[in-house]
Amino acid sequence: MFRYLFLFITMIAFAEDDGHWGYANNGTESWSENSGTCNRGEAQSPINIISGAAKHMSKKSELEFHSNVMYRADVIDNGHSIKVTPKRKPYLSIDGEDYTLLQFHYRGKSEHSVDGKFYDLVVHAVCQNEETKALVVVAVFYVEGAENKLLKQILNNVGSTILVLNINLPNQMEEYYHYTGSLTTPPCTENVQWYILKVPEEASKQQIIAMRKYYVNNFRPIQELHNRVIDEH
């Protein structure tokens, strides 16, 4: 995601840290035991994005990430993903409305796919509007390529209580897919705004292997789109 690197905080904590669900044992087919929304909701994530069917947005939402200084953050393996929680909160601005960055986490394969294609890794940046409690998630894919400086810091400091890093979203935030979905972990809460960046970041083959030593199958299967519309810009 992040070149140098979203509903309530209690929901986020439950979704990320509750130990009574998983991907192998207590797998995705049993998530409805935690929350009925996981199997009854009709606005679930992730989805397969069919690029040719996406609706071009007549008015583009402007995404801007604000982080110009170094931040301390906790880097943990929470039993579901590698999760990074900044102690000082940078924020994402969408058309002038601010969303605090709560945390970002990595998965051993992308959850969303584009035209049936999955990516080598993905990071989800989870942001929340402090007044409305609305959630936004920005997803950034990774492909094999050059070593990623931020990912190097993350992998070298898993388990550290404090990590100093510079968190910046990619420059290529102008091109993205947008749709209304859900958390991809229990309680699968809906009405989450997803922004999936079209241009992937790079990570080295060694970094991809290192991340997959922690998790390779920590992704939810593709969900039905139902009547939702995917926007693109």
Burial letters 33-53, b for 16+ CB under 10 A, else e: ebbebbeebebbbbbbbeeee
- The single residue of 56, 80, 124, 233 carrying the catalytic annotation is 80
How far, in Å, CA of 98 to CA of 31, rounded? 32
Which residue(s) pair with 109 in the sheet?
none
Closest listed residue to residue 206, CA positions, set 153, 142, 147, 166: 147
Q: CB-side exposure of 163: number of CA atoms within 13 Å?
A: 23
CA distances from 85 to 117, 158, 160, 194 (A): 29, 12, 11, 20
Catalytic residue check, 80: yes
Do 215 and 154 form a contact (C-beta atoms < 8 A)?
Answer: no
27, two tokens? 């797998």
Kind and range of the H or E run holding 97: strand 97-107
Question: Residues of 162-193 as b/e, b for ≥16 C-beta within 10 angstroms?
Answer: ebebbbbbbeebeebbbbebbbbbbbbbbebb
Active-site residues, by number, are 80
